[in-house]
Chain A
Amino acid sequence: MKDWFIEVLGKPNGIIIFQLLDAGQLTIYLSLIAFFGGGAIALLLTLMRVSNSRPLQACSKAYIWWFQSVPLLMLLFLCGLGMPRLFNIQVSPWTAATIALVLFTSAYMSEVWRGAIESVDKGQWEAGYALNLSFMEILRKLIVPQAFKYGLAPTVGFMVQIIKGTSLAYIIGFQDLMLIGKRWANSPVPGSEPFIIFPLMAVMYFCICYPLALYARRLEARSIKRI
């Protein structure tokens, strides 16, 4: 694969492009893990948040409040540099970046979903209770299907934020698009000057994010029409 790039684009362009694309994959994988891992925790947080139990609500609120108030960069430092020192353990950049992004994603996503659930008319809960349905039955069969249309567009939109957020992981040595690009930009190889590499990277981020952003906008337009 690498050879094919070199053959077509020559040196060093072939190598640069190949490495950037290769690192771009990692960006996508990390984003996906953050999205699904964060989503799973967000689901739990949202459940706790809309439940009738005060202690559960408080726990969820505290978690969200804390992780929304801390910059992602701080989280990355904490997971990648702080924790290993504190507990004297080896943490790979992969693990550290994953943990930091999952924490970050879960807090924001559960806020999006809570908003969606609270957009559903309170009367739906009352009608459910009056029909003797339980909290979970109402949530599953009545509220979530209706909240879906409010939550889908912002969720997809938030994925764009995650993808861009992963670029910060370079700071703890995660070999994603950002780090590889920066390394090339700093290298003395002719043809890999910053003014070439950085726009190239921007285009690659754009290619990943724009379709999602576009999709989010379309979903939004559709859901407005439906309401």
Chain B
Amino acid sequence: MDILIGITTLLSYQLMGESIVLLLALPVPGPVVGMLLLFLTLLARGRVGTPLESTATGLLSHLSLLFVPAGVGVLVHIDMIEDEWLPITAALILSTLVTLAVTALVMKWTQNLTAGGNENR
């Protein structure tokens, strides 16, 4: 029963998100608006509740499974990837390593800066 309530809640918020995006012609995908609406609801309500919490945790703990069908889609683009394998592979590896390093360092510096005023380490 819990999972039924949880999944219905998630789908309803996704549906609301998709409708708002269509109605207002927003540049944001529907599920993201649904997530923001659910977040605001949780803020207003002050608690998550067991059905939603167990469904969300279950869904998110197997998040990587959900990427598998999209990953197999590489088959459809095999020609394009064959033609442009060098720029694609180089861009993916370079950009991923650079983003990891830059984001981590920026977070470290800003954390030190903002904590520097009131903390003596």
Query: Is chain B found bound to chain A in the same assembly?
Result: no
Interface positions of A (Cβ within 8 A of B) = none
